[in-house]
Structure formats: C-alpha cells, structure tokens
Amino acid sequence: MGDDSIILKGLAGAVRLIFAGDAEVYGAAAVSLSVATVSTLVASALGIPLAVLLSLGRFPGRRAALAVLDALLSLPTVVVGLFVYALVRRGSLLGPLELLFTPWAMVIGQTLLGLPIVTALSVAAISSAGREVRETATALGASPARSLATVLWESRHLLGAAVAAAMGRLLGEVGVAMMLGGNIAGYTRTLTTAIALETAKGDFASAVALGMVLLALAIGLNVVLRFPRRGGEDEPGASLAARSWQRGDGPQGEWPDAAAPSPAAVSASGIVRSYDGVTALDIPALSLERGRVHVVVGPNGSGKTTLLRLLGLLDRPDAGSIRVLGATCGATGSRPAGGPGPDACGATALALRRRIAFAAQRPHLFRTTVRRNVEYPLRARGVPGGESRARADAAMDMLGVLHLADRRARTLSSGEAQRTALARAFVAEPELLLLDEPTSGLDPEWARRVEGLIAASALRGATVVVATHDLAQAYRLSASVVRLEGGRLAPPVVENVLEGELTGDEGSADAVLVLEGGLRLSVATERRGHARAAVDPADIVVSAEPLSSSARNSLAARVTRLEERGHLVFVTAEASGEAGTGVPFISSLTRESCRRLALTPGSPVVLTFKATAVRVF
C-alpha cells in the first residue's frame, strides 16, 4: 500500500471516527485532553510566578537558575518517566498512594515536562517589557501589587502563547503517558498511546486517522487559547488594585518622615550614582525651590535622566541623600545588585510617590486605550470611576488627544503617544512633576502649548523639573537652570538671564524690555509680552565713563564682585532702574583691562551693549 493511499485512508477514517462518535476514540481524546489540561494548569500555576521571580528579581544565582531552566527544555521524556516511575512504584516513597498506571501519575510526569516550557517562555515574555512596565506603573503611583498585576496584564498575550505551547507539547506526549499510564483502554489510553498501539499492530490507516484527530484537537485548542487577543479592555491590574485599595492602600497614607515642609521641594547632599563602575551622577549639593519650574540641561549622557529618576524615587543613590517633598531618601545599600528596584526608598515610599509624576523621554503606553492609559494614575490613587473619567477627559482635551480616547494606545503616532503620556502625567496634578524631554517628539506648535502647561502647573503651586537639551527652551521655561556635564554640576552656559515685559509698537523690531525695578533695555525683537532674555558677558563693555557708540544700552552701575576664571575676570555690577532696585549684570574682561580700570567692589562703571546683544528666549 502506497504512502498516499495510507494518508487518504487515514483522512477518511478520521472523518468517520469523529462523526461516528467512536467511543474508544472519544475516550482516548478525553483522557488526552483532561491529563494535558490539568498538567498545563499546574505547570502554569507554578511556572508563571517562578518566571516573574526570574525576570524581575535580582538575587545571587539567578543566572545559574536561568541556565538550568534552559537545559531542562531539552530534558528527555524518558528520564522524566523513569524519575516519576521510581517515585510512584510499589515500595517507593509514593507507592502507598497507588498512583502508578493512573491518570494522576501521568499528570505528575506531564507537569514536570510542561513546567520548564511554561517558565522559560514566560521569562521571555515578561523580560521583553516587564521592567519598563513595572517602572512606568510605579512612577504613576501604583502599589507593588498593582505594578505586578500590570506587568502580567501587559504580557498576557505572550503568557497565553506560553501556556498554549505547553498544552500542545503535552497533548502530543507519548513516552511519559506510556510509562506511567500503561495504555489501559478506557482509563489511561490517550490518543498518542493509541497511535503507538495501532502502529505496532501494523494498522497504519487507523494510526493516521487517530493522528488526524489529535492534530485537529491540538489546532483547535491553540486557536481557543490564542485567538481572543483584543478582549478585556479593563485597566491593567484593576481588580487586584481595587482589593489593594480596599485594604487601605490609598492616597490618605502619610510618609512617616514628613515633618514640617521644607522651603525646597527637592534638596540633595553628596549624591553619587554609578552603573557598572561608571559614575553617572556626582552632585555635592542641589536645592530646588517649591512652586517653580526648574530646568536641567546638558548633552546626552550628562546625567539628566539619572537625576530625574532619583528625584522620582525610581532609583536610589549609592551615596548621599535626597530630600523630596519633606521626606529623606538615603543610600542604605538595600538596592538589589545589578540595578534599581522600584521601591528604592522602601515600601512606605508609595504615599510619597503618589505626590509625584514622572514622564519619561520614551514613554511606555499600556496595551489598552488612550483613556485607560490616562486614567491609570487616578485609578492607582483610588479616584472613583466617574471623577477619574472626567479628569482624564479634561487632561486629554488639554493635550489634544480627547478624540483619540477610545483608540488603542499602540496605534498612535509618536507625537500622539508623547501627548498621551504627558496627559497621564498632568492628570494627577502632582506636587512634583518630573518631565524628561517632554517636547522632543512634538511639532513647534504643540511644544509651545506644553511649555504653557508647564508654566500653568507651577502657577497652581506644583514644582516642575524639566530635563532638556534645548537651551532656548530651558530659558523660556525658567531662569532656574541647572547644567550637568559628565554627571557633575557645571557653570551655566547662559549668564545675565533677565525677565520682564517686552513693549513697543506691534510689528516693529524695536522693543523695550522692562525689568523689575523699572530698568529698561533696548531689544531687537518683534516679540511682545512676558519674556526671558540673556546677554553674553563678552558682549558687555565695561568703562569708567559713557562711550560714544551706536550701542543703545548704556547703564550706570556699581561693581559688587570680581571673580577670576582662568585668564579672564568676571565683573558683577548692579544697575538700578526707576524704582532703585538693582539688577546684576556679569561681564568678562581680561586681567589687563581690569587692572587699567582699577576695578574694585564699589567702583562706579558704565555697562554698554547693543540691542542685538540681548537674546530673547
């Protein structure tokens, strides 16, 4: 009989067996399905928590454990069968239970086979985004339980694939089933052992027919387990979070160290943070005033993101301490080796984190709708559903994504995703708002709008810390600019930062910048209204008497400080306006020029610079 004939007869026989309701076939299919299902459920119940530990945990021996897990994927089934047989045979440890040649013995063996499959594939699923998801959830105010639930929710499709793969593997298992079940008709005979029996008898057509039945069963189960990928639009970890909230884990909790509020929202002392032996941040002292916008500037790799992560309690310094909103977080050495943990300041940091919001430069959006993403920090804080939805809608409207509320977040463009992440950060109205390159993916119009929202947040009393590489944006946002270079504080790139009102005829390039105290400067710009500007110290000419020049700014001033920096002397002199309030200006001179002018603190001078030297941000 040819191979084609055997296959065709097998197909016909499979159809006949299925539709004829053959009791032996259906009985073998039921045993196969029940044993594989129970084994898969047990393997999943053990394997997925183990995968979470191996994926997110940091402990000694983790790499060795992963290596052993990889090795177990190729474990011969006969070895598993012999091991379990030795445990359940008469006279052995489990012999009195009389498990041998029962479905339960088969379940034990198949569970041992399925456990490495579920665990290894789940490790891969959770590792692909688990740390990023957990950190995002933590930064949005989620409790540890809710963060873990969110990780599992985000990985649900890949975890389902892992379970389906294990189920398919166990459905096709024959060695363990034969050794531990004994292939007893109507009791432990499975489709695979029935195929082996028919093949041994030489009835290849029947064997092929049973194989077709087994194949159809495996395909059907995989479709059932893996097809519904769009269901469940509930927010990540919602039910677990609700239980956590009912236990009192909510925004009413207080930070235990929070005594009287500090004038500074953030202060740092001697903080050092290193990665793999390389110092990423080393700041002796830093203080950021409450209720203002502060900007951190610097090139790539200067430590801006590291600083924001420390301020957001997503990481912990190796040395020194940080005081955030009146609570102190120091280096205690409890961070696990190999990387930061989400509870960098201990489990009690949760209440403090819920007063902070952090928006990363490359934000992670959860695998759900835009609205659910924006509502997440509110739900994490226990805000009721109606209020949560209303506040989320207002935040989305503010950032121009309300019309996308029911869209899945993963389908958004980069600019839409950035605005969704910003809405998610603004919606909780945090006391401390940390924004890492918030306008990097936005067009100029939306970048300006976001800058306005940042200013509005400070006006309502929030402290905002923005990291950016855009120097012009930095000074548009604030005069409080911290510059990092190589992880260390560096002198500001721009000095003589001025703030006031630009006045003049509309459309004219001639304007007057009116500073505090009434001091007026001529400026070449068409801008009007409130603005910040700066004058390069090298553009300011210091003289003892007024100069005859085309420069339109000539200010009488008095020297208050002299500072040598290399071969230059930086002279600080105060010029007074109509109200008598002094405005300090810094200019740079050579040592020889300073000597010729005989400058000392208190010397009267004239500061001269052009209108075009005033740079408006």
483 and 558 fall within a common domain: no
Asked if pLDDT for residue 294 goes beyond 70, the answer is yes
* E strand segments, 298-389: 319-324, 327-330, 356-359
Lowest mean pLDDT among 179-183, 204-208, 326-330: 204-208
Same domain flag for 458 and 504? no
Flag whether 436 is in a domain.
Answer: yes
431 and 306 in one domain? yes
- SS3 sequence, 131-143? HHHHHHHHHCCCC
3-class DSSP string for 213-234: HHHHHHHHHHHHHHCCCCCCCC
What is the pTM for the complete model shown? Answer: 0.73
Task: Report the SS3 class of residue 489.
Answer: strand
Let me know whether 194 and 302 are in one domain.
Answer: no
Q: What is the pLDDT of residue 259?
A: 37
pLDDT per residue over 99-109, tens digit each?
A: 888 999 999 99
- Is residue 516 within 8 A of residue 575, CB to CB? The reply is no
Q: Which residues pair with 286 in a beta bridge?
A: 268
Percent of the chain with pLDDT over 70: 86
Residue for token pair 């409130």: 530
Q: What is the pLDDT of residue 407?
A: 93
Environment class of residue 202 by beta-carbon count within 10 Å: exposed (0-12), middle (13-18) or buried (19+)? Answer: exposed
Q: Are residues 198 and 315 in the same domain?
A: no
Task: Domain count for the chain, please give it.
Answer: 3
Give the pLDDT band (50/70/90) at residue 250.
very low
DSSP H helices, 57-102, are 62-72, 77-88
pLDDT, tens digit (0-9, with 9 covering 90-100), for 223-234 = 776 555 544 445
Tokens of 193: 């052992």
Half-sphere exposure of 106 (CA within 13 A, CB side): 30
Q: Could you give the 3-state DSSP secondary structure of residue 598?
A: coil
Burial class (CB in 10 A: 0-12, 13-18, 19+), 459: exposed
Average pLDDT over residues 118-122: 93
User: What pLDDT was estimated at residue 471?
Assistant: 82
Report yes or no on 243 lying in a domain: no
Picking from 432, 459, 490, the residue at the C-terminal end of a domain is 490
- The domain boundary, picked from 446, 467, 490, lies at 490
- Between 171 and 401, the more confident residue is 401
Instruction: Go through the chain and tell me how many residues it has.
Output: 617
d(Cα 565, Cα 588) in Å, to the nearest integer? 9
CATH code for position 21: 1.10.3720.10
Least confident range of 90-94, 228-232, 283-287, 447-451: 228-232
Residue 460: phi and psi, rounded to 5, are: -85, 0
Residues 303/281, Cβ–Cβ less than 8 Å: yes
pLDDT per residue over 447-503, tens digit each? 999 999 999 999 889 999 999 988 888 888 888 889 898 899 887 777 788 888 999
Average model confidence (pLDDT) across the chain: 83
Classify residue 239: in a domain, yes or no.
no
| First-to-last C-alpha distance (Å) of the chain | 88
Q: What percent of the chain has pLDDT over 90?
A: 37
Contacts with 94 (C-beta within 8 Å, 6 or more apart), sequence order: 87, 88
The residue that leads in pLDDT, 182 or 345, is 182
Q: In this structure, which amino acid lies at residue 436?
A: D
Tell me how far apart the alpha carbons of residues 375 and 406 are, in angstroms, rounded to a whole number: 12
pLDDT tens track for 553-605: 999 999 999 998 878 899 999 998 776 678 999 999 999 999 999 999 999 99
Q: What is the DSSP string of 293-306?
A: EEEEE-STTSSHHH
> pLDDT digit string (tens) for 125-143?
888 777 888 888 888 888 8
Do residue 424 and residue 485 come from a single domain?
yes
Which range of 10-19, 374-383, 512-521 scores highest in mean pLDDT? It is 374-383
Same domain? For 520 and 482 the reply is no
Q: Which of 202, 228, 254 is the last residue of a domain?
A: 228
Local confidence band at 334 (pLDDT 50, 70, 90 cut-offs): very low
Could you give the CA distance from residue 41 to residue 615 in angstroms, rounded to a whole number? 68
Question: Which of 104-118, 170-184, 485-499 is most confident?
Answer: 104-118
Q: Which CATH number characterizes residue 506's domain?
A: 2.40.50.100
How would you write 418-456 as a 3-class SS string?
HHHHHHHHHCCCCCEEEEECCCCCCCHHHHHHHHHHHHH
What was the pLDDT predicted at 339?
A: 43
Q: Strands of 327-330's sheet, edge to edge?
A: 278-289, 264-275, 319-324, 327-330
The 8-class DSSP code of residue 408 comes to: B
- Reply yes or no on whether the pLDDT at 347 is more than 50: no
Say which residue, 264 or 25, is predicted with more confidence: 264
DSSP state of 275: E
* Per-residue pLDDT at 258: 35
Q: Residue 563: which H helix or E strand, with range? A: strand 553-565
The pLDDT assigned to 421 comes to 94
Residue range 9-27, pLDDT digits in tens: 656 666 666 666 667 777 8
The answer to whether residue 256 is domain-embedded is: no
Is 235 inside any structural domain?
no
| 520 and 476 within one domain | no
Is the residue at 248 inside a domain?
no
- What's the Cα-to-Cα distance from 183 to each of 101, 168, 302, rounded to whole Å? 8, 20, 68
Do residues 472 and 501 both lie within one domain? no
Question: Domain check: are 340 and 485 in the same one?
Answer: yes
Whether residue 150 lies inside any domain: the answer is: yes
Q: Are residues 125 and 140 in the same domain?
A: yes
| pLDDT value of position 338 | 39
Instruction: Give the CA angle between residues 121, 123, 125 to the nearest 5°.
Output: 70
- What confidence tier does 6 reach under pLDDT thresholds 50, 70, 90? low
Q: How far is CA 43 from the centre of its chain?
A: 30
Instruction: Name the residue range of residue 100's domain.
Output: 3-228
On whether residue 240 sits in a domain, the answer given is no
pLDDT band (50, 70, 90) for residue 375: very high
379 is written with which tokens? Answer: 């739900």
**189 lies in the same domain as 99:** yes
